[in-house]
Amino acid sequence: MKLKHILMAACAAMISTSVQAEDLKVGMITTLSGGGAGLGIDVRDGFMLAIEQSGRNDIEVVIEDDQRKPDVAVQLADKMIQSEKVDVLTGIIWSNLAMAVVPAAVAQDKFYLSPNAGPSPLAGKACHKNYFNVAWQNDNLHEAAGAHANAAGHKKSFILAPNYPAGKDALTGFKRFYSGDLAGEVYTKLGQTDYASEIAQIRASGADSVFFFLPGGMGISFLKQFADSGVDVPVVGPAFSFDQGILQAVGEAALGVKNTSQWSKDIDNPTNAAFVESFKAKYGRLPSLYASQGFDTAKLLISAMDKAKVTDQDAFRAALKEADFASTRGDFSFGSNHHPIQDIYVREVIKEGDVYTNRIVSVGLENHADAYASQCNL
């Protein structure tokens, strides 16, 4: 008897989905388990919030966990393209996973909207007409940190990043704009959690400031240990070590630290205010920059759907290119290589009540585009 009910319910469900034909199918491959899950969860939640607020029922989103593994991401992408028949892919957090998935996906006439990773090849020589980056090119926030170091009068910075491609991009990006001398340049092990050795070198180098790119848990460890070391020089870094998800774990050690971001919860525009408010109401926590990127990615997608059908690829692509949506960042447009042209802010870590968060103190780089656009033939 029970079984019969279940079967009937299942049949009813199948009928209702087939009647209400889905117009556009999105495949989201993101990191939902393991150490980097916080980022993927924020991107997913931001994305789904925008879809829900649009009230549209012609978007279907298939979400899968890549476990931060390139091979898993590639398998998921194949599955989504071949059996799920998605029209648009999105969601990848890490640059190495993006490099494994994106070129193959766009070559199979799928659109890819990047809510986070922006490896330099995809902005330059390997750019593609179906690839749009809604976050930033990897170097951008580091470039703004370099510009800020100049503005703050830093003359002798000690710089460090993990020894992997994004870490090298970070130091290259910083140096592209920083005009002072270097007190030292150190590559740390990826995933390293103890920075006593590096901090001792910073102390001995006589640096007047520190720039670091250590995303996630690496940054938490570094900041706590640096704060406890007695080395009292200003620290600058990209927002990746100061996002809403990890600031609470760093605590007091992060107070006052300057960091660069294309988004902040106090960017003054109605879209952003509504986004912060509704994200908080729905998920019970403050959004991070990753959540804002997920939200903007969905808004971009919806804006293109208002103008064209995804089956008409040329029209849909042109609609995406217009970026005709209200971004949480305010002004937002795409450069020739489909990467953002946007302001990058300098933020400061503050404490609001019991919560550690950021506020904007200045604009680091205005209407900033990336350094690779000229290598892209679009």
Partner 1 sequence: MHMHPNVIYKKETPILLMKSRVGKFKGKSMSAILFIEQMLNGLQFGVMLFLMAAGLTLVFGVMGLINLAHGSLYMIGAFAAAAVAAATNSFLFALAASLAVAAIAGVLIEATIIRRLYKRDHLDQVLATFALILIFSEGTRWIFGSFPLFLDRPDYLAGTVALPFGIEYSLYRLTLIGVGLAIAVGLYLVIMKTRIGIRIRAGENDREMIGALGVDISMLYTLVFALGAALAGLAGALIGAIQSVQVGMGEPVLILAFVVIVIGGIGSIKGALIGAILVGLTDTLGRFLLPQFFSLFLENSTATSVGASLASMSIYILMAAVLLIRPKGLFGGA
Surface-to-core class of residue 231, CB atoms within 10 Å of its CB (0-12 exposed, 13-18 middle, 19+ buried): middle
Our finding on whether 216 is near partner 1 (CB under 8 A) is: yes
* Number of residues counted as binding partner 1 (CB under 8 A): 60
Map residues 223-252 to x or -, x wherever contact with partner 1 holds by CB under 8 A: -xx-xxxxxxxxx---------xx-xxxxx
Q: How far is Cα 314 from Cα 37, in angstroms, rounded to an integer?
A: 35
Q: How far is Cα 339 from Cα 75, in angstroms, rounded to an integer?
A: 26
Our finding on whether 217 is near partner 1 (CB under 8 A) is: yes
Our finding on whether 291 is near partner 1 (CB under 8 A) is: no
Residue 152: CB minimum distance to partner 1, A: 6
Map residues 305-324 to x or -, x wherever contact with partner 1 holds by CB under 8 A: --------------------
Residue 75: CB minimum distance to partner 1, A: 18
CB of 31 closer than 8 Å to CB of 65: yes
Stretch near partner 1 under the rule CB under 8 A, chosen from 1-9, 85-93, 199-207, 362-370: 199-207
Stretch near partner 1 under the rule CB under 8 A, chosen from 94-102, 219-227, 290-298, 307-315: 219-227
140 to 169, contacts with partner 1 by CB under 8 A? 152-153, 163, 168
Among 20, 197, 362, 374, which residue sits at the site for partner 1 (rule: CB under 8 A)? Answer: 197
User: What does residue 88 show for φ and ψ, rounded to 5 degrees?
Assistant: -130, 135
> N- to C-terminal Cα distance for the chain?
61
* Other residues' Cβ atoms within 10 Å of the Cβ of residue 312: 11
Stretch near partner 1 under the rule CB under 8 A, chosen from 1-9, 50-58, 184-192, 331-339: 184-192
Tokens representing residue 38 in the block: 């916080």
Q: How far is Cα 355 from Cα 190, in angstroms, rounded to an integer?
A: 29
Stretch near partner 1 under the rule CB under 8 A, chosen from 96-104, 112-120, 180-188, 293-301: 180-188
One-character DSSP codes across 108-151: TT-EEEESS---HHHHTTT--TTEEESS--TTHHHHHHHHHHHH
Among 139, 143, 208, 370, which residue sits at the site for partner 1 (rule: CB under 8 A)? Answer: 208
User: What does residue 53 show for φ and ψ, rounded to 5 degrees?
Assistant: -70, -25
Our finding on whether 97 is near partner 1 (CB under 8 A) is: no
Among 63, 104, 182, 326, which residue sits at the site for partner 1 (rule: CB under 8 A)? Answer: 182
Helices (H) and strands (E) in the chain, counts: 13, 13
Residue 207: CB minimum distance to partner 1, A: 8
Report which of 64, 160, 167, 158 is spatially closest to residue 119, judged by C-alpha positions. 167
The 3-state DSSP class for residue 319 equals helix
DSSP-assigned letter for residue 189: P
Interface contacts to partner 1, rule CB under 8 A = 33-35, 37-38, 41, 152-153, 163, 168, 171, 182-189, 191, 193-194, 196-198, 200-201, 203-208, 216-218, 220-221, 224-225, 227-235, 245-246, 248-253, 255-257
